[in-house]
Chain A
Amino acid sequence: MKNLVILGAGTAGTMMLNKLHKALNPAEWKLTIVDNEKEHYYQPGFLFIPFGIYSREDVIKPKKEFFPSNTNLIESEIWKVLPEFSKVHLSDGKIIDYDILIIATGSRTAPEETEGLTGGLWRNDIFDFYTLEGALALAEKFKTWQGGRLVINITEMPIKCPVAPLEFAFLADAFFEDKGIRDKVKITYVTPLAEAFTKHKCAEVLGHFLDDKGIELEAEFNTGRIDNENKKIVSWDEREIDFDLLVTVPTNKGADYIETSGLGDELNFVPVDKHTLQSSANKNIFAIGDASNIPASKAGSVAHFASEILTENILNYISNRPLSARFDGHANCFIESGHGKAFLIDFNYDVEPMPGKFPLAFIGPFSLLKESRTNHLGKLAFRWIYWNILLKGRELPMGPDMSLNGKVLDNFINNNIL
């Protein structure tokens, strides 16, 4: 009997568990998953909590609901992986052996990385919305906040879901408008990027949106420290931005055991081949989702598309075949733009977001790189799809590779369709 061990039962780990449960022969392979948390969070829903659109109950379900019956679950923290011996040491003292290891422990926010961020103002005038506690605390704050300088700050890249802070800015604009105090709120969007988003085509469109909504953009701002006393964020090159209320996206890092095990880069993300998802250092280790260092968005859609590729490559690896399935970096993101509308973007390692229809060429129903009500409904419907289809490893009516069908190609864009 051989052992395949998955570390982490979040979005990517749970999808891999379900796919491999079906794909592997149970007489030959024992499948084990390790995770110490009992609850699965629908993380895309955190964005809606500060604005009272979703509550705690909307984003939590027990992890076990998404596991196949008779899953070997080990509920423990991970202390260390010993790749040279193919063993995982757990914090409770147990040691498990693996023939194949899949690292899917994601990324977490690390506010402690920035001087002053967790100082006296933390969760009083400084909030994050990438954790459930942070999103809930901010919802409370917004109930009574009377306005002032609202600063939305990305500390450093890469971060989970790079569109979420922009969506937060758009939703905040609509929220305060509906409350009738938009004129009392100055919104500033502060990013280390040179423009509003990582992908230039998309940044052009979204940058206009920031302008239209009266949201100031402060680009190339690399946050060095937070001055709690004077309520300022200060960049490494000594630029300063005053705030009354700071909504921060702290530094994102991979799990601590990855550092202890010497498996990660400087932010504890696991270096892998970006096409096969195999670890660069260890042939029997693979990483998927936010835990890996692939140059794609850290997002559930990427993990979903990658899970199909990784399942194929695990089967290839088991049969001593070349790892022929190649991930193209496909990402697909709804972007809330406020007032019941949203964008949808679809891109990969090589092709930037472009306008068109999705998922069916020319028909849609979703419009790419364009604001629409249908896209917003798609975003809300996605929660159901996430819980009922994606996590359980079921197929969506589209393959993992990005399609160019129905998209308006670049030369059209240059002819001012946008």
Chain B
Amino acid sequence: MQSEPESLDEVSLIWMTGIGCNGCTLAMLEASDPGIDDLIFGNVPDAPRVTLIHPELSMESGAQYLGLLERAASGTSAPFVLVLEGALPVDLPNPGGVSHVITAAAGEVTESPSTFSPPTLALWIERLAARAEAVIAIGSCASWGGIPASSGSALHVQSLSDLLGHHYVSRGGLPVVNIPGCAPPGQVFIETLIYVFLHLKQFVPLDLDEERRPRWLYRHNVYPLPPRVEYPPAVGFDLSQRPTVGCPVPVTGWVRNIGGCTKVGGSCIGCTERDFVDRFLALARPDPALN
């Protein structure tokens, strides 16, 4: 079911955070030309004017913020795109605590905190996803589970696709869009978001690969490798024997075409891939004895 394209002049961007490090939020803020501010002010041709609803950054707080989520979840507000940063905890790992439940972005007055059992993040996501024009997982935690899903972490987490199911389709006719990377460059997020808007307005269909990543951004293969060191590593690297991962950084750099991991002598740890800590970190160690 596609919504009417003409209703997409004003769109809210509802950004939720699970278990993560906030790095994807920073990456999003770093992008410019266009940046999130250009979308907020409606400066991007053919993209809607965006209202950012973010736990740290939006203007509303407390009950007002909760009201925004509630209206979006019940379908009485402007159309919206849902973004998740961070992994979703499966079991609440904190007995008696109040974390991993959304109460308010800033604060709420209540009679007694002990009777206070607000809905969990996963519950909110499920309600919002049912109404969202599109749903985006930013970063490897939301796309695959990331660091919290690594061996040893003692956490049981799931990705956004795990929660919504792999057959999920948004109101705008899209599956969960993955923008993996730890973190992905912010520009990659903004660019994908704009293409999601163009898809929703039925201008250009969104081209996703089999991992539901924007195909044109993740089609470059890079080799997980150690950083550049000025002493001889114990072994040479036979690239034909090495795995590759898809990554936008060889083309985009990190920000405004500056930097970017192996482009400037850093390591590639394969951070856009599933379970990168367990699968690729060993290929990126600077200690010659271990390579």
Q: Are A and B co-members of a single complex?
A: no
Binding site for A on B (CB under 8 A): none
